[in-house]
Amino acid sequence: MDNVITSEEKMAYMLLNSIIFHYHGLDEEEEQILKRISEQLSANEELNWAFDFISKDYLTAYERARTHLKEVMLKLDKSKRLDFINSTWNANFEKGYITEMEATAMLKLARDWEVDEDLISLYNKELNS
């Protein structure tokens, strides 16, 4: 993950990670991963913003995040969009697993951002190496 990103990009990245980690309810290990990511990017305010975004209506948070993130992500170049979703996948995997629902949620976002085929290709290369 490129550490030189704008505040808007930090907000989007922290929302992306937060929405995936909240998918089944945020546990302590996931919260620690989110805090570490926010510290690495100097994005504590953006993490708090993401938590507020989710808490406004937990039941609709994912769909609201999809809409918001699509607007932001399609402004970025394709390599950055791919980097964001790949970094989120890797952060999620730090806990030792990714559930089918989390994987599906990330693939839907990747499709929204027009990087789904690139993401799948990236993981196919990793599996075959």
- 1-44 pLDDT, tens per residue? 655 789 999 999 999 999 999 988 899 999 999 999 999 999 99
Q: pTM of the entire structure? A: 0.92
- 78-120 pLDDT, tens per residue? 999 999 999 999 999 899 889 999 999 999 999 999 999 999 9
What are the structure tokens assigned to 86, written together? 């790949």
Alpha carbon separation from 116 to 6, 20, 77, 79, 99 (Å, rounded): 24, 16, 14, 12, 18
Using CB atoms within 10 Å of the CB of residue 92, give its burial: 0 to 12 exposed, 13 to 18 middle, 19+ buried. Answer: buried
Helix extents (H) in the chain: 7-21, 28-40, 44-55, 61-73, 78-93, 100-112, 116-128
